[in-house]
Structure 1
Amino acid sequence: MASAEEARISLLVAEENHNEEIGTSTSVLKQQTGGWKASSLILFTELCLSIAIFGILKNLVVYLKTELLEDNVTAAAHASTWSGTYFFAPLIGAYLSDSYWGNYLTIMGFCIINFAGMVAFTLSTTLSILKYSPFFTFLGLYMISIGSGSTQPCLSAFGADQFATTDRKAKASFFSWYYLSMKIGLVFSSIVIVWIQDNYGWTIGFSIPTVLSGAACVDLMAGSRYYRYCKPSGSPFTKLFQVIVAASRKYKLNLPEDDSLLYQANGKSTIVQENQSSEHTPEFSFLDKAAIVTPSDFSRSGVLNPWRLCTMLQVEELKSILRLIPIWATVIFFGSVLSQETSIFVEQGMVMDRHFGSLNIPAASLSTFNVLAVVVFVPIYDKIIVPVAHKITKTEGGMSHLQRAGIGLLFSILAMLSAALVERKRLQIAKDEGLMHQNVAVPMNIFWQIPQYVLVGIGEVFNQIGMLDFFYDQAPDSMRSLCLALALLTMSLGSYITSFILTIVHWVTGWIPENLNEGHLDRFFLLFAGLGLFNLVVFAYCASRYRYKKK
């Protein structure tokens, strides 16, 4: 016994000395890597990728209509589906990064895919042999959406990795600059790139985003020796599925009356940190059976089978995800409204007077007012609305995350009503001017669209930013990146829903013909407002039943 104890102590001493050596080398390494020098390169990569992707997205529906000769419904549906794929791709990047490759390799791989897609798509707009090849055109487009979209959750996480865990101020500052980089890219694309495409042609207009995509790859590789890297920790999906499988295997067993008899082990085999604790909740009690201890849960050598026995911490993590799903599902509608900025709103603007003095304003450039609304309204919300709301409600932040998100949904409804009023006025002018049967722009200035873009932008400040805060705050600590990826997924599903509704409405009603002067786009906007009101009622019901986790 003595020799065994001495051996154990010797092993511990050896491990401690080894850890000290690692700690010393790690300290030196951290002094040479990371920080703002490394994160600045990451921010520049994000800026280049943002200009590139929005340089395609903002004017895609116009390109499909004017060059590929698609009708209004087909062009809007293709643009919405493509943007939906872009917002779905973050799940792909997040999974591969967490499970296998790590952030850097994932970003690098998908940046290369994005650049290859940019080259293919630009060639399809230049070479006559490829110009009218739908396969080659859409192959390039979807390589772009998957490549660029998959980098998004990895870039933000990789940038935050460049700072020490305890340096919360630097991390918060990085995220602010990261968001600003994305918005700068969006504004630059909406104004400069779209203007070049409309006035100097598609070849040069798409070549600039292609060059910037290549610059993003070069910039990322140039900083490889300055970055701090984190090894992938494994996918949380596996741990979640283990709870489902273990509970299913024990569905015939009865839960013990004493919750303490359920498996409570705290160890590194769980998906949570060792110092975490979790309150036992009564919802989804079937999943508690995954923590019932039985002899068959262990091998003959005493090794636990994680597909037969899970800790209550794992069970509660899965429960918290399930509680978020109804809220998540009811904010998808806002993604549908946002997707119309690059499809139906643009088509509406194309049949309005786009002249401002001697300038011919691209219809897609009106989305700049959405970005400006976000930039202006964020400080208004933080400096004015929150303090006033705090005096009234006496709650931290002035209002809850769900109240904030609900207000955002209300603004999305107001945006659709504004678009309907503008369209109704436009159709009246077309009728008065005798232009109903002519597929031409009516003498109504495109700036009448500004209110609908601004209302969507204000709604974005309430709903989208509110939902990011909500998912980050309410998600399990070890699954925040997954939940933030799910928040991005609402944009993808919203775009797909818009594409589906467009197709059904056109097939059933014919409200959106090739000549919008003969159609009833106003009724489509009113339909969306009605769907938004129904969605808001459902959201309010789900929010009233949601129970925030205890701090």
Structure 2
Amino acid sequence: MEGIESNGRHGADTDRRTSKKGHRKLWACAFVLVNNFLQYTAYFGVSTNLVNYVKYRLHEGSKTAANNVTNWQGTGSITPLIAAYLADAFLGRYWTILLFMIISVLGYGVLTASASAALQSAVFYTGLYLVALGGGLVPVLGPFGAEQFDESDEEERRQQSSFFNWFYLSLNVGSLVGGTVLVWVQSSLGWGIGYGIPALFSALAAGVFVAGTATYRRDQSPGGSPLTRIAQVVVAAVRKCDVEVPSDSSMLYECDAVDGTSSAIQGSRRLAHTAQFRLLDKAAVETASDKAGASPWRLCTVTQVEELKCVLRLLPVWASGIIYAAAYTQMTTTFILQGDTLDPRVGRFKVPAAVLSVFDTLSVMLWVPLYDRVVVPMARRVTGHERGFTQLARMGVGLVILTIAMLAAGTLEVARRRVIARHGMYDAGSGDGGSYLPMSIFWQVPQYVVVGASEVFTFIGQMEFFYDQAPDAMRSLCSALSSTSFALGNYASSAIVVVVARATARGGRLGWIPDNINRGHLDDFFWLLTVLCIGNFVAYLLIARWYTYKKTVD
């Protein structure tokens, strides 16, 4: 009886601790998700309509305004690397997030003051670039939220996978509110209040994050400069280029640890040896001259060598995201050119082509809960995998879905060209008295919806993959890789357009993408993107087959 009572009390105590832990984790994630929503509402409230502010309020020409906005966006794709490096190397994620949010609040404050008082453009751009610097937090905030889950627990690993889905959803809801409601405020009520609201949201985001401090789990400690550790492995391997690697990996050097799982790198578990990139293993071969306190520039641990191997394995997967991003960015370029010629009227209202991107966001908002609550449980029963799909499989599905979106855009373009030929409306939508083709703009909706579905598989899959497969002490930096692949995808898209336009306009021909696309062959351009997507997917299959998942020493 006494034993039963004791066990009962112990079980009740355990249940209470488990419940308290789960309650705390739920609140921590809620603070992170609300913070992410508020940040991106503010960001898209500024970025969506920025070109109009620069053109009409700062009185810059169209080309100059477009270039200035593009330069700012390019800067915004680089700053995540700065935040990620500081988080991994020196500050930790919590303090990095807090620091960069303060910078962001300052930036929005300067923007608001500039817009309200019509200050000089130099003041405005100072605020704008402070926003770009402070806003690059996704590679840090995402891993910080994922850090709230215990990876040694199978159930919490599943919850961690779900977290990435909801994190991306909060980002998209923020972009929807910022890109619609706040843009309307700017157009109807003025730029002062239109920028004041993003400033308020930015301050609220910082307040929400600080309010959740007591609930956060902060296990990650800064591990020192990852770039230094990578350089040490390369230098040590080169120095020992003539040393033979033993066939038994247990002969390679590793630090002593009381629990057998921690490594010499602060905040990092030991990594198991892998057979790929064996030349780097030379850095971990202990020679006679290394016995007496060898320098890390001559002798590295297995975990340090495996860190570099992890990064090298991630790079081909990262590269496959460039073509994906190049095709994805057609939503903001060729999709809009296509939509500008179609009939936008709904009763007395006109729907601008750019507004249709809201269907991409709505698709993401539909697919995230559908994927999390329906697709994953169904896939889990078929595959037996705890996450339904492996991370590589999930991203691969997204690549296929985006290919379907390019096919849909090409098919619509074929139909559009037939309507043009039938009615002889080669100047419709391009200055011919504002006329439009007798074809509704809402025929574009399917391609936007399909693009949104591909995001849920590929973009969220990338976030989860780069976090999970990165070494513990490099998770923020590796998570930032996905944002750089997206930036390079934008540059790749521009390069493809330039090359195609020049190559197809030789011999006096108008080419595929002339100023008046009704006289071009935009359908052929979409077929080209389809082929590139297929080629990228084939290369991805080879990469996925070659890839070796990270293994820790538990």
Query: TM-score, normalization: structure 2?
Result: 0.77
Q: Relative to 1, partners in 2 of residues 1:461 and 1:46: Cα closer, same or farther, differing over 3 Å?
A: closer
Q: What is residue 154 of structure 1 aligned with on the other side?
A: 140
- Work out whether residues 338 and 456 of structure 1, in 8 Å CA contact, stay in contact via their aligned partners in 2: yes
3-state SS, counterpart of residue 337 of structure 1:
helix
Q: Deviations over 1:479-537 (max 9, x none)?
A: 43333222333222222322333444455546545554455444433332222222122
3-state SS, counterpart of residue 454 of structure 2:
helix
- Work out whether residues 263 and 293 of structure 1, in 8 Å CA contact, stay in contact via their aligned partners in 2: yes
Q: What is residue 273 of structure 2 aligned with on the other side?
A: 279
Residue 256 of structure 1: CA displacement?
Answer: 3.5
Residue 93 of structure 1: CA displacement?
Answer: 0.7
Q: 2 CA distance for matches of 1:161 and 1:473? A: 11
Q: Relative to 1, partners in 2 of residues 1:541 and 1:77: Cα closer, same or farther, differing over 3 Å?
A: farther
Q: What is residue 173 of structure 2 aligned with on the other side?
A: 184
3-state SS, counterpart of residue 307 of structure 1:
coil
Q: Relative to 1, partners in 2 of residues 1:426 and 1:61: Cα closer, same or farther, differing over 3 Å?
A: farther
Percent sequence identity over aligned pairs = 42
* Runs of 5+ unmatched residues, structure 2: 1-16, 506-510
Q: 2 CA distance for matches of 1:396 and 1:160? A: 17
Q: What is residue 541 of structure 1 aligned with on the other side?
A: 542
Q: What is residue 13 of structure 2 aligned with on the other side?
A: none
Amino acid at match of 1:433: M
* Runs of 5+ unmatched residues, structure 1: 1-26
Q: Relative to 1, partners in 2 of residues 1:376 and 1:533: Cα closer, same or farther, differing over 3 Å?
A: same
RMSD of aligned residue pairs (Cα, Å)? 4.0
Q: What is residue 311 of structure 1 aligned with on the other side?
A: 301
Q: 2 CA distance for matches of 1:385 and 1:44? A: 25
Q: 2 CA distance for matches of 1:46 and 1:93? A: 16
Q: 1 CA distance for matches of 2:538 and 2:28? A: 46
Q: What is residue 445 of structure 2 aligned with on the other side?
A: 450
Q: Deviations over 1:124-175 (max 9, x none)?
A: 7677775xx6x776655443333212x2233334456678888975974765
Q: What is residue 529 of structure 1 aligned with on the other side?
A: 530
Q: What is residue 401 of structure 1 aligned with on the other side?
A: 391
Instruction: State yes or no: 1:70 paired with 2:62.
Output: yes
Amino acid at match of 1:377: W
Amino acid at match of 2:92: G
- Work out whether residues 236 and 271 of structure 1, in 8 Å CA contact, stay in contact via their aligned partners in 2: no
Q: 2 CA distance for matches of 1:406 and 1:37? A: 33
Of residues 260, 264, 269, the one that matches 1:270 is: 264
- Work out whether residues 166 and 368 of structure 2, in 8 Å CA contact, stay in contact via their aligned partners in 1: no
Moved more, 425-434 or 444-453: 425-434
Q: What is residue 284 of structure 2 aligned with on the other side?
A: 291
Of residues 210, 217, 236, the one that matches 2:226 is: 236
Q: Relative to 1, partners in 2 of residues 1:411 and 1:124: Cα closer, same or farther, differing over 3 Å?
A: farther
Q: 2 CA distance for matches of 1:513 and 1:209? A: 38
Of residues 123, 127, 130, the one that matches 1:143 is: 130
How is 1:92-241 mapped onto 2 (pairs within 5 angstroms)? 92-119=82-109, 130=120, 140-149=127-136, 151-159=137-145, 169=156, 172=160, 178-197=167-186, 204-220=193-209, 232-241=222-231
- Work out whether residues 426 and 442 of structure 1, in 8 Å CA contact, stay in contact via their aligned partners in 2: no
Residue 96 of structure 1: CA displacement?
Answer: 1.0
Q: 1 CA distance for matches of 2:126 and 2:211? A: 29
Q: 1 CA distance for matches of 2:415 and 2:545? A: 39
3-state SS, counterpart of residue 331 of structure 1:
helix
Q: Relative to 1, partners in 2 of residues 1:233 and 1:152: Cα closer, same or farther, differing over 3 Å?
A: same
Amino acid at match of 2:201: L
Q: 1 CA distance for matches of 2:494 and 2:134? A: 22
Q: 2 CA distance for matches of 1:496 and 1:48? A: 29
Moved more, 285-294 or 378-387: 378-387
Q: Relative to 1, partners in 2 of residues 1:498 and 1:382: Cα closer, same or farther, differing over 3 Å?
A: same
Q: What is residue 9 of structure 1 aligned with on the other side?
A: none
Residue 375 of structure 1: CA displacement?
Answer: 2.6
How is 1:465-484 mapped onto 2 (pairs within 5 angstroms)? 465-484=460-479
Q: How many residues align?
A: 512
3-state SS, counterpart of residue 415 of structure 1:
helix
- Work out whether residues 250 and 290 of structure 1, in 8 Å CA contact, stay in contact via their aligned partners in 2: yes
Q: Relative to 1, partners in 2 of residues 1:137 and 1:451: Cα closer, same or farther, differing over 3 Å?
A: farther
Q: Relative to 1, partners in 2 of residues 1:64 and 1:428: Cα closer, same or farther, differing over 3 Å?
A: farther
